[in-house]
């Protein structure tokens, strides 16, 4: 005689176990309203941009705040500033370093980073292009020669002479030439576009801002060149070679 069995879909213990398993799975997932949020970044910048140069090579610094307002983790691959002056393309400056805290005296290397939903990354970011390999090699050789020349002159001066020594003009001239070749911070109206490249690409962000450099700003930056004959800004870091901070506003086309 066959024994009657209850189909599994009519067995309340099966459904109780299934519902318990489903509850466990759902508890490990983000809330539905977070999953439905679009993948996006909210980006803000400080109201000033710092501009300077390294022997003419343009540098810019901006405090950038990036927040993941979407429902999934996002990866920030890179940041860059595209710069125009008076409507003409001038430079593309990638983010190379940033300061970990407002009181940090030295910067750290910028690398791709991940942001969880609601997480914020906010730092002062340095945007610049490094010298190409050939320029870097020649630059290091010129620095070495200038440093040796200044060292010899320091040893030869009178013991009580505390004045800065003047390097040989022929050893200073390569830095002056490089400055004239690379210097771009002329007076004018500037537009810079901050680009945040993210993964996935749909979360990437870009926005344009504007700032103005006056003749006095350019003059201050060009004066850095006057210190090369003493080694300032080349052999050693000069305090007077810091950035000029310019008001930065949103660009309205």
Long-range contacts of 82-88 (CB under 8 A, 24+ apart): 82/192, 82/193, 82/195, 83/58, 83/190, 83/191, 83/192, 84/190, 84/191, 84/192, 85/184, 85/186, 85/188, 85/189, 85/190, 86/188, 86/189, 87/191
Please report the pLDDT score of residue 33 as a whole number: 44
pLDDT of residue 238: 85
Statement: residue 62 has pLDDT above 60: yes
Q: Where are the domains of the chain?
A: 37-134+163-250
In this prediction, residue 34 has a pLDDT band, given cuts at 50, 70 and 90, of: very low
Q: What is the pLDDT of residues 77-90, one digit of tens each?
A: 999 999 999 989 99
- Contacting residues for 65 by C-beta, under 8 A, at least 6 apart: 43, 44, 45, 120, 121, 122
Q: CA 99, 130, 82, 94 torsion: positive or negative? A: negative
Q: Is 37-134+163-250 in CATH node 3.30.70.20? A: no
The answer to whether 225 and 179 have CB atoms below 8 angstroms apart is yes
Q: In the predicted model, what is the mean pLDDT of residues 145-156?
A: 93
Picking from 82, 42, 77, 63, the residue whose alpha carbon sits closest to that of residue 251 is 82
Split at pLDDT 50, 70, 90, the class of 158 is confident
213 vs 23 pLDDT, higher one: 213
The CA distances from residue 93 to 89, 127, 212, 232, in Å, are 12, 5, 18, 25
Least-confidence region, from 4-18, 184-198, 221-235: 4-18
Q: How confident is the model at residue 32 (pLDDT cuts 50, 70, 90)?
A: very low
Range of lowest pLDDT (20-34, 37-51, 213-227)? 20-34
């Amino acid at each position: 005689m066959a024994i009657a069995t209850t189909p599994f879909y009519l067995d309340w213990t099966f459904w109780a176990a299934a519902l318990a398993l489903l509850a466990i799975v759902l508890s490990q997932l983000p809330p539905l309203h977070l999953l439905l949020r679009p993948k996006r970044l909210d980006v803000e910048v400080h109201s000033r941009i710092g501009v300077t140069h390294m022997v003419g090579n343009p540098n810019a610094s901006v405090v950038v705040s990036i927040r993941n307002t979407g429902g999934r983790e996002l990866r920030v691959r890179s940041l860059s500033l595209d710069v125009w002056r008076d409507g003409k393309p001038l430079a593309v400056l990638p983010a190379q370093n940033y300061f970990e805290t407002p009181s940090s005296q030295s910067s750290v290397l910028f690398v791709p980073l991940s942001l969880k939903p609601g997480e914020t990354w906010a730092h002062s970011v340095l945007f610049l292009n490094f010298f190409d390999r050939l320029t870097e090699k020649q630059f290091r050789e010129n620095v070495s020669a200038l440093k040796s020349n200044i060292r010899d002159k320091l040893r030869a001066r009178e013991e009580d002479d505390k004045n800065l020594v003047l390097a040989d003009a022929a050893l200073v001239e390569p830095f002056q030439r490089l400055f004239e070749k690379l210097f771009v911070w002329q007076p004018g109206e500037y537009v810079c576009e901050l680009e945040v490249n993210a993964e996935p690409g749909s979360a990437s962000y870009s926005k344009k801002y504007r700032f103005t450099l006056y003749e006095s700003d350019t003059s201050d930056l060009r004066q850095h060149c006057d210190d090369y004959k003493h080694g300032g800004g080349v052999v050693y870091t000069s305090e007077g070679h810091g950035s000029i901070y310019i008001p930065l506003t949103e660009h309205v086309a």
